[in-house]
Each structure stands twice: as structure tokens, then as C-alpha cells.
Structure 1
Amino acid sequence: MADTMVESDLVVRGGKRIDWIRSRMRLLAGVRAEFEREKPFAGLSIGVSLHLEPKTAVLLEVLKAGGAAIVGTGNHGSTQDDIVAVLRAQGMNLFGKRDDDLQQHLANVAKVVAAKPDILLDNGADLVALAIEAGTEATIRGGTEETTSGGDRLRGELAGKVPFPVIVINDSPLKQIAENRHAVGQSIVESFMRITNLMIPGRRFVVVGYGWCGRGIAQYLDALGGRVAVVETDAIKALEAALDGHRVGTAEDLAAWGEVFITATGRPGVLGAKAIAGMRSGAVLANSGHFPWEIDVAALRAQAVGSQLVDDSLERIELADGRHVVLVADGRMFNLAGREPKGNSIESMDIGFMLQALSLARVAGAGRTGLVPGAQPVPDDINQTIARRMVAEMGAHL
């Protein structure tokens, strides 16, 4: 009885949160009306591995309205239990909870693959990789991939192994501009202030990576008075960072200068033992990428002589030489960490999830016969359609 009451309370709380988000996602509201008429996913199941939070819930409702059966799980450490409760009450088959450890999370992903979905909605290419490992890829019509990290995996370790089409949402200029630059930039800065309660003006920030997310983070920190330096290996992006007014150097060069280090590359180990060894005592380390591998947490803990959790997403790690550093969210993507995490802005995800919805519908209609196998960009007609609708929604005119 107690468990039933808790679940009921979660449904009520989560429902109120989703109602607010749904009321502001006007692009998806239009797509939902179209999907309810056309039923592009009738008879098909969609396997999902995605952050389960209120904005994601609205996307899944739209896919369900289009006739899809939903089976899925969240990403490690970002699942919001009240949102899962609401979606389960709507008949979606979802696994996982907020405090699942990594082993349980991987078991949840395996359950999604074992359900043999027709289409994959992936975040980090976990579903694609596991489907190939399990030998179930032959039953998959196609899918989408949300992230930079997942796109890198599809074009790297999984290149030539994926027999079905995967539309990489992150390749869309709409996602790069609206979500990666402006929404990630805004949410990372908001999350830093919310989680640490530290001041931005005058503080020295090192942003590792100057892709679309790194540009946005640097832009919003700079706008609030932060002093920003950039680590970037690509010469053209490094030049852009310098012309944007930022100090540019290697992680090791900037280690003693920086007070806060934020990774935004999608690549493993970009903030490693050598850079950590040169940091001043009290340095804050945070990661904005999808996978918790950009900060070499193992190397950090190897230098540690003790640690203390000072808040639910802040850990003070004491080092053998007497210094200490502060690790945010155990190196996981921290704009979905801490109390009341918000993530990216509603409007940016309205654009991003319309990209998801229309790309999934394209996969459902075209499948393997109408699209090439492997990673590919969002079709341009989808980009143009969404851009025109968003311009109109903003009251602007072409």
C-alpha cells in the first residue's frame, strides 16, 4: 500500500511538471496533431535510451500519439522518478530509476534491446552498440542518435557495423545553434550557479572544447562577467576562440590559472592526471558531455587520500600533496544533476525534439530501403520545415 501511495504521489507531481512543459512546446503540439491523424508508427515499437525528464516525456507522448509502443530506459544518473511514474501510468514500458548504479543502468539498456524494438531513439549509441553485440540488429528498421558522443561512436568504433540508417540529430544546424550553443550554454551556467552557489563575475573558467557546446558555455560565462580560457586542439576553432576574446592554451598550461574547469568535447580523458596535478587547491571540475569519461575520474581518485560528499552533487577530494579539488556530479553531465535539475531550455528542446519526431517518422516510412545504412545527417527538408515553423512561432518573418 505504501509503495502504491508513493507511486501515486509521484504521478501527481510529475504530471504537474509535464503539464507546464507541454504547454510551452508549441512545435511539438503541432506535430502531435499531425501524428494523431497520420499514425506514422502504427504497429511499430520504439526503443528509447534518453534522459527521462519532463521535456523528454512530451516527446514520448507525441510518439505514442503517432501509434508507437514505447519501451525504454533513462540515461545513467539523470532519470527523474516522478516523470517515469507518469509515463508508466500512460502505458509506456520504462525501466530504471534515479539511483540506479551503472551496472543496473546497463541491465536496463539490455532489457530495451531484448524487447526487439523496430526503431531506436538513442542517446550515446548505447542501444545500437548493444543490439549489434546481441545480434538483434537485423530486426531494426532504423533509428536516431541525439548526441555528439553517439555520433562519434557511430562513425568511429561502430563504423561499417550498422546495417540500418541512423539519423544523427546533432548534425542538424538547428540543434547546433539552438540547443548546443544557446541552451547548453545557458543551462550549464545556471547549473553551475545552482549546484555550487559560487559567483561567476571575475572567476576564471577553463572551457575544454570549442565546438557548439563549448562556444555556448564560453559565451554565457563571458556575458555574466566570467574570465574565460579555452582548450582546443583544432587550429581553426582555437583561432575562433582567440578572436572571440578568450585566452587559449593547453589544459596543462591553463591548470594553475583556472578556478573552474568545464569539459565539452565528447572525448574521453581530455582532463587528465597531468592537468589535475597542476591545478590550484579548490579547483572545481565539471563535465557537460554525455558520457562521464571526459574528466579522468579514475586518475583523480588515484591521487586522493580522502573525500567528502559536501552536497548531493559536490564532492571534495583531498589530494596527497595537501591540495583539494571539487568534483561535480561524479564527472557526469552536470546540467541534469543536483536538486531540481532543469537541463536545456524548453524552447530549444521543442526544436530538438521536433527534429527527433520528424526524423523518426522518416525512418518509419523509409526504413532501410529509402535511407542509406549507418550514421547520416537530418534530411534538409526536415531542417527547413522546422526552421520556418520556429521563425513563425517567434513572430518573425522570412
Structure 2
Amino acid sequence: MSELLERGAARTRWIRSRMPLLAAVRDEFAERRPFDGRRVGMSLHVEPKTAVLLEVLAAGGAEIVATGNHGSTQDDVVAFLRGQGMTVFGARDDTLAQHEANVASVVEARPHILLDNGADLAAGVVAAGLADGVVGGTEETTSGGIRLRSELAGRIPFPTIVINDSALKAIGENRHGVGQSVVESLMRITNLMIPGRRFVVAGYGWCGRGIAQYLRAFGGRVAVAEIDELKAFEAALDGYRVADLGELAEWGEFFITATGHPGIITDEIVDRMPDGAVLANAGHFPWEIDVASLYARASEVTELDAAIERIDLPDGRHVILLAGGRMVNLAGREPKGNSLEAMDLGFLLQSLSLERVATAASTLVPGAQPVPDDLEREIARRFVRALGADR
């Protein structure tokens, strides 16, 4: 066994031991075999928690063909999964072009079921003319849900359950999982103080709510930039300063994007920031911070650490960019991602939603749709029991 594979196996073993919900459904799937004869194509962050999810699907009879997301693949986990007989493309150092080729390789394998993140596989099968061979799938993220309901609307002939529409995922994984892991990653990467520092969170969806909550819990002074009037209203009643991002740019010291939309931190916003401002992105796609423009106009770019770059600007100021503008909690140094409990919940949602697609696609409508209510309620009951909150 290679050292890389051994490390991936050891890390996955620890995480598997702390995910009781997935352990239970793995036993159920081994008995029911809902994926017999089905090939599951995955495009999702390849890290130990994802490895446990793929083991669960394989126990249910699924053939796995997978790739990670750009910049977040963990090579030891890839080695471990390949050692389990799964086809996994990609490496942590892949360029964007190589990542796109990896996604194309999964599409070319003609999966019957898609486990998607950012709607890359859905877009790929449509572009390749292979959508008729897909029974259905799931989509993990806000960003992917937006794509399915905009550029891909009316072009998806199979049902796609958007996991991010789930209230369980919103509360458990997004608010508390992402909120905790983004703040933890910010602290781990920079080693900077949170208490008393000024943070601007762009977006007050469930992830933004969680990030703001955990920053404040550590003593940070938090402001929220949100264009949706009702979300801004909620942020104000939650006790945050609420204003336009342009106005907050001069006030903030740290800026964290969590909107799912491109072009949030632009040159105009950067020009208003104080010297030394720290920029991080928590959204799925690396497009919320205009990184290309930052690099293009920089007088100098210096790599200070594995996930820290100093961008010197022509006017003498500089900003600090974390993880190259990719997801700071998964693409940064020592990536951990969301807590085990949050992902145990989230991946139970994935597992049972994929089973519904595999066994009862005819009961679902084509295109993007929420998690069926009966699954939501069953999973909520299981999580409360597993957490011990009923005792």
C-alpha cells in the first residue's frame, strides 16, 4: 500500500467512525441494493467525507466514476478511492483546463445518475447530447441550483433534486457547517485575530448567516452587504450593520463573499478598501472576487504562504487574497471543510435523494426540484436521534 493511499485510508477511517447516519444507511443500501446496474457520475469535492459517501453508494451497488472540484481535490483520498476500485479523475494541482477535462471524462463515461456540484455534469451531458441516458441526479449547491434554473432551464429532461433547497441542509450544513468551517479556515490560514476586527460578509443567505454568526461569536465586528431587501431586513434585526458593499469597503478589514453570484468584489470595490484588506470567498465558483482583474493590474503578486498571496496595487496599497479566490474552507491550507456532523446530515440527504432518483424517477418531474418532503422529515428525525437531542 502506497504512503499516499495509506494516509487517505487512515483519514477516511476516522471520519467514517464519526458519521453514524451514513453508517446506518450504508447497511440499508447493502440490503436494498438500489443502484445495481447504475453508474453514478460525481463532480464534488474529493475529501474524506466524500469518500464515505461514495462507499455508501458503492455498498448499494453503484459503479462510481468521479472527479473533484477545481483546487479542492485531496490526492491521498483519490488514491484511497482508486484502491477501492472506483474510477476517480483529478489531482489537487490540476489547472482549470485539466479540471474541465476531468469533468468531460466523467460525462464520457455515460453515467446514469449525476451527483453534481455547480451543475458542471448537468451542463456537460446536455452539451454532449447524452442527457437521454441520465435517469436523474442531485445538485449540491446554491450556484448549481441557479444554473439549473437559468442557463439550463428547460434543457434538462431528467429530474434533479437540489439538495441546497433543503431546510435541513440550509440550517445544518450551510449555516452551521459552512459558518464554522469558513471562520475556522480563516483563522488557520492567516493566524490573525478575530476579536475586535472589522468583517464584511457579502450575502446573507444561509452560508452568509452562518459566517456572520460565527465571526461575531469569536468577537468580530460584522457588517453585511445584501441586495435582497428581506434578507437585509433580517440581517438588521439580527443586529448587524447593513449597507451597500461600496459603502462598507472603506470600513472593513476582512471581506468574505457568500452569494453564489459572479462579480461581487470588483476593481471599484477594491479601490475603496484600506491597505492590507484580506479577501476570501466561500462560494462554490471562484468568480465572486474578480481575481483575474486583481492579477492583471497588480504591480506585484507575492506568494506568502500556500494559500496567501499579497497583491500590490499601483497606488501603493496592497490586499491579501486567500486560496486564490476559491472556496476558502476547502481550497485553503490544511482544508477540513464542514464539520463531520454537518456532512453526515448533508450526505444522508444526498444518499436518500439519489436512491429516490434511482428507484422512483417517474414520481419526480424533469428539471430542478427540492428534496421530497417525506425524505426531509425522515432525515430530521434520524439526525435528532443521532445528536442525542431526544434524550
Identify whether the pair has TM-score above 0.5, normalized to the shorter chain: yes
* Partner Cα distance (2:279, 2:288) in 1: 10
Deviations 1:6-44, CA, capped at 9 Å, x for gaps: x71111111110011000000000100000001000010
Within 5 Å, which residues of 2 pair with 1:1-398? 8-367=2-361, 369-397=362-390
- Equivalent pair of 2:222/2:241 in contact (CA under 8 Å): yes
TM-score (norm 2): 0.99
Q: Give the residue type in structure 1 aligned to 2:342.
A: S
What secondary structure is seen at the aligned counterpart in 2 of 1:340? coil
**Is there any run of 5+ residues in structure 2 with no aligned partner, and where?**
none
Aligned length: 391
What secondary structure is seen at the aligned counterpart in 2 of 1:229? strand
Q: Give the residue type in structure 2 aligned to 1:344.
A: N
Deviation at 1:339, TM superposition (A): 3.0
TM-score (norm 1): 0.97
* Partner Cα distance (1:129, 1:135) in 2: 10
Deviations 1:253-296, CA, capped at 9 Å, x for gaps: 01110000000000000111111110011000100000000011
Identical-residue share of aligned pairs (%): 68
Q: Give the residue type in structure 2 aligned to 1:181.
A: R
What secondary structure is seen at the aligned counterpart in 1 of 2:255? strand
Deviations 1:211-240, CA, capped at 9 Å, x for gaps: 000000000000110000000001111011
What secondary structure is seen at the aligned counterpart in 2 of 1:46? strand
What secondary structure is seen at the aligned counterpart in 2 of 1:151? helix
* Partner Cα distance (1:257, 1:204) in 2: 7
- Superposition misfits of 4+ residues, deviation over 4 angstroms: none
Deviation at 1:396, TM superposition (A): 2.5
* Partner Cα distance (1:74, 1:301) in 2: 25
* Partner Cα distance (1:60, 1:395) in 2: 26
What secondary structure is seen at the aligned counterpart in 2 of 1:315? strand
What RMSD in Å do the two structures reach over aligned CA positions? 0.9
What secondary structure is seen at the aligned counterpart in 2 of 1:266? coil
What secondary structure is seen at the aligned counterpart in 2 of 1:325? strand
Q: Give the residue type in structure 2 aligned to 1:16.
A: A
What secondary structure is seen at the aligned counterpart in 1 of 2:2? helix
What secondary structure is seen at the aligned counterpart in 2 of 1:381? helix
**Is there any run of 5+ residues in structure 1 with no aligned partner, and where?**
1-6
